[in-house]
Amino acid sequence: MMCRTPAGTLVIAKIKTNYEGTYILMKGQGATPKGSVPFLDLLNITTGAKERIWESSVDKYYESALALMSYHPKCEIQLNELKFLISKESRSEAAQYYVSIWPDKKQVQITSYPHPYPQLASLQREIIRYERDDGVKLTATLYLPPGYNPSKDGPLACLIWSYPGDFKSREAAGQVRRSPNKFARINNSFPLLWLARGFAVLADPTIPIIGEGDQEANDRYIEQLIASAEAAVNEIVRRGVAHPDKIAVGGHSYGAFMTANLLAHAPHLFCCGIARSGAYNRTPTPFGFQVQLCPFI
């Protein structure tokens, strides 16, 4: 966690405690079998010992520590004087902002935003889990229009929107990095507005490209890309929510590169695609893959 200096720059906050050693605060998304559970750890940088001092609730709300609000000109913050900006949301409640104050971790609400699109307040959202043929566990978020009933209304046209990821192990690829308690946000970069037109939307199905051991992920890119996409299509067709002849695929940047490859190599899966602002220059791949792509986008 960072602290702002009098000069306006950001440096790592140093946390003062009653114990020996130098401490800093680390935050993480907290991938768990039940979904993402954000947390804050107090880390002794001398010994490496960690202590969890805050964690999101898991029953109804998704909370995330956004910024350190405590101020000290030398960025040396007393542990019992911590103040954090926290966002808190649920499936039906838009994110509100709180200040969490130590030592009792009292939360003071500072915003009260109404639902931004009440017409879609009753949209249906579910985190689904399934496997591809090689046994890698996959997850996705399935959105369905308000009032939709698959047994009565039949399968819908569906848009799958995703972005592949590189992994060095099957276990890392199978982690659940999303929460069932998150609010469904609609913006200009995410296709949830298609729900208002009666579409189903499969958002962010995991497309892991795995390179274990000495193998590089891209050695089997096409094979793993198709296997992941096929598993996602099979799952939504099996559930009866998507018509097999009316499934589109789309993505941005590397997701557009994914879309182009799926339309070229797996045309039996999709009727059309949206490749937005594609990053098609793969010459940087041997030098860091996505890390080195930024200047070319």
Q: For every one of its 297 residues, what pLDDT tens digit does the chain have, with 9 covering 90 and above?
A: 999 999 999 999 999 998 888 999 999 988 777 778 999 999 999 999 999 999 998 888 999 999 999 989 999 999 999 999 999 999 889 999 999 999 999 999 999 999 998 888 899 999 999 999 999 999 999 999 999 999 999 999 999 999 998 887 878 777 777 788 889 888 777 889 899 999 999 999 999 988 888 877 678 889 999 999 999 999 999 999 999 999 999 999 889 999 999 999 999 999 999 999 988 877 766 666 555 333 333
Considering the entire predicted model, what is its pTM? 0.82
Cβ atoms < 10 Å from Cβ of 218: 15
- Whether residue 186 is found in the same domain as residue 87: no
Determine, yes or no, domain membership for 219.
Answer: yes
Domain final residue pick, 109, 144, 171:
109
Domain final residue pick, 74, 109, 144:
109
- Whether residue 91 is found in the same domain as residue 197: no
The pLDDT of residue 273: 97
Query: What is d(CA 151, CA 197) in angstroms, rounded to the nearest whole number?
Result: 19
Which tokens belong to 191? 């296709």
Task: Return the CATH number at 271.
Answer: 3.40.50.1820
Which structural domain, as residue segments, surrounds residue 34?
A: 2-109
> Residue 84 CA to chain centroid, in angstroms?
22
The pLDDT of residue 165: 86
- Whether residue 149 is found in the same domain as residue 253: yes
Lateral strand order in the sheet of 156-161: 124-131, 137-144, 200-203, 156-161, 242-252, 272-276
The pLDDT of residue 288: 61
Determine, yes or no, domain membership for 241.
Answer: yes
Question: Using an 8 Å Cβ cutoff, are 269 and 262 in contact?
Answer: yes
Determine, yes or no, domain membership for 283.
Answer: no
- Whether residue 251 is found in the same domain as residue 147: yes
Per the structure, how many domains does the chain have? Answer: 2
C-alpha torsion angle, residues 218, 222, 224, 230 (rounded to 10):
160
Query: What is d(CA 277, CA 297) in angstroms, rounded to the nearest whole number?
Result: 8
- Whether residue 29 is found in the same domain as residue 78: yes
> Residue 2 CA to chain centroid, in angstroms?
22
The pLDDT of residue 124: 93
The pLDDT of residue 178: 78
Measured at the CA of 25, the angle between CA 21 and CA 29, to 5 degrees, comes to 145
Determine, yes or no, domain membership for 289.
Answer: no
Determine, yes or no, domain membership for 281.
Answer: no
Domain final residue pick, 78, 109, 140:
109
- Whether residue 257 is found in the same domain as residue 211: yes
User: Quick one: which H or E segment has residue 261?
Assistant: helix 254-265
- Whether residue 148 is found in the same domain as residue 238: yes
Query: What is d(CA 267, CA 247) in angstroms, rounded to the nearest whole number?
Result: 11
Determine, yes or no, domain membership for 287.
Answer: no
User: Quick one: which H or E segment has residue 36?
Assistant: strand 35-36
Q: Residue 65 pairs with which residues in a beta bridge?
A: 86
The pLDDT of residue 292: 37
- Whether residue 20 is found in the same domain as residue 128: no
The label of the residue with tokens 């709300």 reads 61
Determine, yes or no, domain membership for 22.
Answer: yes
- Whether residue 270 is found in the same domain as residue 183: yes
- Whether residue 125 is found in the same domain as residue 244: yes
- Whether residue 177 is found in the same domain as residue 201: yes
The pLDDT of residue 289: 53
The label of the residue with tokens 């043929």 reads 133
Determine, yes or no, domain membership for 31.
Answer: yes
- Whether residue 39 is found in the same domain as residue 65: yes
